[in-house]
Amino acid sequence: MRKNILLSIMMVAFTLMSCSANTANDKASPTTTLNNNEKMTKVELETSLGNIVVELYNETPQHRDNFIKLVKTGYYDGVLFHRVIKDFMIQTGDGNSKTAGPDTGLGDGDPGYTIEAEFVYPKYFHKRGALAAARTGDQVNPERRSSGSQFYIVTGKIYSSDELKMMEERLVNVKKQDIFRRLVTENRARVEELQQSQDQAALQALQNELIQQTEAEAAQHPFKLTDEQINAYTSIGGTPHLDGQYTVFGEVVEGMDVVDKIQNTTTGRMDRPTVDIRIVKARIVE
């Protein structure tokens, strides 16, 4: 891993340390109960273009239970698909979108809390049809906590074997960056002390030390796409560059033709469809 890249990450991490305590990531998420032996819950999303049925994974209990709660309380009834990008994903769940005018900016609406990340990777990944939680970026959300309501359904694209190999190399670097960020956080007190004393030599030495630790930890747990991922991404497609960074908590089991209708719609500013597409009603079906 090149030191100049890590130094940039390190300085961003140092900056975040002084402000992350006031972000939405500190909000509490709902309490949940885990039972992996339960039958998976299915939810039907009746949209203005047809019905989509999603199945919720039991291995992501906080996201599952929160989604069920919002469905039962009618939170999703009337929300728009406010962000649609062809060959990538369709996004919805902004509560403010129910009464939004055509020029209203969307994407910030939520129930007032975030949910702890639940990465069940590589078992669950961003294949076509995956249901995943939206979130704010790493700069303000280093814990990668999920939005309390916004989610997306993956459409993605099909990758060749060569493209996947390049993607795998990129994901290896992403993993190293994640390790490095964590190490910086763990050494927060030491970093702040050196910053206050303006000891640049010691900061450089700390950087080198953390780089070595990063490389050693990455070597102990090398990253490699599974056969299941490779088969999925080279046959039905998906968005492999999002793997391990956003919580995948379910998948579409019926209605991918409707998802494709939505992703093929004409969009305008901020990737919002020019003609409103809504979830008319969300209901538990099993």
- pLDDT for 26-74, tens place per residue? 343 433 344 456 799 999 999 999 999 999 999 999 999 999 999 999 9
Q: What topology does CATH give the domain 32-158+236-284?
A: Cyclophilin (2.40.100)
Percent of the chain with pLDDT strictly greater than 70: 87
Query: 95 to each of 26, 110, 265, how far by Cα in Å?
Result: 21, 6, 21
pLDDT digits (tens, 9 = 90+) for 69-106: 999 999 999 999 999 999 999 999 999 999 999 989 99
Could you state, in order of their start, the residue ranges of all structural domains in the chain? 32-158+236-284
Structure tokens at 204: 């450089």
CA atoms within 13 A on the CB side of 238: 27
Backbone angles phi, psi at 99, to 5 degrees: -120, 20
Is 60 exceeded by the pLDDT of residue 237? yes
**pLDDT score, position 223:** 79
User: Which of 71, 67, 79 is CA-nearest to residue 30?
Assistant: 67
Coil, helix or strand at residue 214 = helix
pLDDT digits (tens, 9 = 90+) for 165-195: 998 888 888 889 889 988 998 998 999 999 8
Distance CA 284, CA 282 (A): 7
Question: Rounded mean pLDDT of 153-166?
Answer: 96
**pLDDT score, position 9:** 44
Under the banding of pLDDT at 50, 70 and 90, the label for residue 255 is: very high
Positive or negative: CA dihedral 131, 137, 143, 146? negative
**pLDDT score, position 123:** 97
Mean pLDDT across the chain = 88
Is 60 exceeded by the pLDDT of residue 8? no
**pLDDT score, position 27:** 42
**Nearby residues of 64 by Cβ (< 8 Å), 6 or more positions away:** 32, 41, 56, 57, 58, 249, 250
**pLDDT score, position 87:** 98
Backbone angles phi, psi at 69, to 5 degrees: -60, -45
Burial of 221 (0-12, 13-18, 19+ CB in 10 A): exposed
